[in-house]
């Protein structure tokens, strides 16, 4: 199944490049900028390691953008050919009225891959979050919006019943939490497990399991 998904992704990327005038008989270097490096994007890494992209005439140069804003900036400036991030990044650029806005052409994940991490390993209840602070990522980003959706599903109003701290950059969230900021944090793997292994936090629940299927991360150019 992973091979099929990865191959479909490779074909989608190739089609996008061909539409831009690339030559199909030559290997094309594709500069791919991902929002973070995570096991969450395993199908992409399988496609790279197993040569599925190479079979389609593509050579992937992968960069960790460290956040959706940075990924989008790299694509718009021409530093990257393809971006992988939440679809909201494209919506924000489109809403600015720009003529040459990036377009989404494929989806990689349909669930939130983050976990809620706390400072205690006691049995977790959503009411434990009342009056507490969660480091939740960039305001308006898919991870932060998904977190707020899940909180409301459990009867908690963000910024009223529980504070969602959106001041910390995506790639700095684990460090901020282990440094003493906030009571909880949402983290992707491997960051979540690294915090647990260091003895500085405990995984309490999966945000994706609570939210259900959503358009989470997508490729755009």
Report the DSSP beta bridge partners of residue 218. 85, 107
Task: Give the burial string for 133-170 (b: 16+ CB within 10 Å, else e).
Answer: ebbbbbeebbbbbbbbbbbeeeebebeebbbbbbebeb
- Is the sign of the CA dihedral 38, 145, 204, 182 positive or negative? positive
Residue 24, pLDDT > 60, answer: no
Which pLDDT score, from 0 to 100, does residue 62 have? Answer: 97
Residue 9, pLDDT > 90, answer: no
Question: Taking all residues of the chain, what is their mean pLDDT, rounded to a whole number?
Answer: 89
Helices (H) and strands (E) in the chain, counts: 9, 10
Domain extents in the chain: 2-111, 115-211
User: According to CATH, what is the number of the domain 115-211?
Assistant: 3.40.190.10
Residue-wise pLDDT for 128-186, tens only, equals 999 999 999 989 989 999 999 999 999 999 999 999 999 998 889 999 999 999 999 99
Which pLDDT score, from 0 to 100, does residue 47 have? Answer: 95
Residue 26 — pLDDT band, cuts 50, 70, 90?
confident
Question: Token digits for 61?
Answer: 């140069």
Distance CA 105, CA 90 (A): 11
Q: What are phi and psi of 156, to 5 degrees?
A: -115, 125
Return the higher-pLDDT residue of 100 and 165: 165
Q: Which helix (H) or strand (E) holds 31?
A: strand 28-34
């Amino acid at each position: 199944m992973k091979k099929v998904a990865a191959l479909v992704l490779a074909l989608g990327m190739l089609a996008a490049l061909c539409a831009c005038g690339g030559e199909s008989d030559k290997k094309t270097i594709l500069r791919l900028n991902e929002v973070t490096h995570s096991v969450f994007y395993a199908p992409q890494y399988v496609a790279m390691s197993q040569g599925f992209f190479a079979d389609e005439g593509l050579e992937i140069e992968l960069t960790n953008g460290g956040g959706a804003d940075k990924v989008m900036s790299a694509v718009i400036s021409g530093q990257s050919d393809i971006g992988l991030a939440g679809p909201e990044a494209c919506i924000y650029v489109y809403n600015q009225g720009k003529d040459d806005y990036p377009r989404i052409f494929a989806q990689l994940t349909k669930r939130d891959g983050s976990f809620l991490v706390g400072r205690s390993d006691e049995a977790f209840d959503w009411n434990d979050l009342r009056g507490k602070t969660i480091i939740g990522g960039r305001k308006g980003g898919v991870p932060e919006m998904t977190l707020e959706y899940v909180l409301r599903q459990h009867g908690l109003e963000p910024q009223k019943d529980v504070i969602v701290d959106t001041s910390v950059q995506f790639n700095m969230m684990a460090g901020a939490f282990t440094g003493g900021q906030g009571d909880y944090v949402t983290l992707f793997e491997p960051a979540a497990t690294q915090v647990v292994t260091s003895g500085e936090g405990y995984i309490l629940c999966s945000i994706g399991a609570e939210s259900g299927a959503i358009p989470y991360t997508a490729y755009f150019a």
